[in-house]
Chains A and B, each alone.
Chain A
């Protein structure tokens, strides 16, 4: 069985808010659910499957299902940090392909900006077996990613200026986005001159911290046919954990080395076929390593690849994160996977901001790395196609 073309994304919605002190967490989940359903032309009563991750308050998926008043026959609360929503997409498509459900709703919400929720979320569980061997050493999230960046620089000669180009490319996109948290274009010089947070990562190598959320509605081809809205086909999905493996941690690659090839194989496509890529950008190094691992360039060549301007829309070799990404636009709940899918859907519908719309965008990839490049992560890749492909 395959999910190829067995499910469509019919609704996608990104909350316009970036700081929401007057809105509760369940309320944001509800607002994005209604937004995505309205986008699809569906109602809450049409939903028969619900997917959420560790950001959803309460008892797995059940508390939010109750809050929303959903009647369900399929639930999934897979938690892999910021990549959860890409896993949910694959799981929803598989459930639809198996006939278990027809209309799946996926929601994300978070309030780290106004609510003070720490980054990392469920990674901080003191019952985790690794907890005692990592938490005493004062290694915040940025330090863990910095460990990966430092090793990548050592092995491949990657430079801070190359990493900075990733932020610069995102900022050239964000300047067109009226909702972007950082709407100003920055230069390589500004990035490398910004304060060092954890060597070799500067402040501008980091993503933004925002409140907000997003939601997706995934439907069967039969449901899609009856909607007035342009839908996007799911063509392939792959997911994998990567972890230090009994002390054999290798910081130079991510779980995308497994999730990427699985997604491409299912879709029957190659990296060269991809017109647009949403790549989770918790930090600049996250993008660089995932570009290599997904096969857009050779291992170790991510630095030269991005320095050529490859990521810049609309005419770079691989336009990425055209909404400004987590680096400049939005990183709701410290979880970037949802907004990655939403911008890929915009591109395939031809509804991205005109200045960054990729011409004739036929195939898009969205990739998430949840957790930490420096320790353990959940990687997930989806490949999407325009409805007429």
Chain B
């Protein structure tokens, strides 16, 4: 896992017209440890103490078995691209940074998370591409969970 500054880093890698916006959303109280983790440079996920399922997105019960015994753990931050798209036209804050990559990344721990893959030319993207997480920090110190290719 690698920290990554919110401004500047990545632009040189040819990932579209610029750095992707970092807008930290409002989040639910039960997912706060996840967001606190990102701010500190850790990917924290929940595991069900009863059925062992790794739960995504963070919530107040295990959707596999209904247990409310969920334990936080620090994940590897590694994964692979399950699917991706290169967004070429859009509206809003992302309009200025096309083309950019939206992907589902399958984490090593199992869950598939919706995210961006950065530091990668869109033309080089492919399914099964190994990736690692980066923490894209905003002005308030909070960060978004994004990924970049693992160069072998």
Contacts and interface: CB of A to CB of B under 8 A. Distances in A.
B24 A140 contact: no
Contacts of B91: 140
Contacts of B56: 133, 244, 246-247
A247 B23 contact: no
Interface residues of B, number: 49
Contacts of A132: 25-28, 31, 57
A244 B104 CA distance: 11
B11 interface: no
A129 B60 CA distance: 10
A195 interface: yes
A248 B112 CA distance: 6
B33 to A, nearest CB: 13
B37 interface: no
Contacts of A199: 85-86, 88, 122
Contacts of B146: 137
Given A135-B25, A151-B127, A251 B31 contact: no
| Size class of the A contact interface (CB-based, 8 Å) | 35 or more
B112 A129 contact: no
Nearest 10 pairs of A and B residues by beta carbon: A247-B111, A247-B56, A138-B94, A146-B85, A151-B83, A132-B27, A132-B25, A133-B57, A246-B63, A199-B86
Interface of A: 126, 129-140, 143, 146-148, 150-151, 154, 195-201, 244-249, 251, 375
Interface of B: 20-28, 31, 53-57, 59, 62-64, 82-94, 97, 100, 102-104, 107, 110-116, 122, 127, 144, 146
Given A154-B83, A247-B55, 17 more contacts: A131-B25, A135-B25, A136-B23, A138-B20, A138-B90, A139-B87, A139-B102, A143-B87, A151-B127, A196-B86, A198-B86, A198-B89, A246-B53, A247-B56, A247-B107, A248-B110, A249-B112
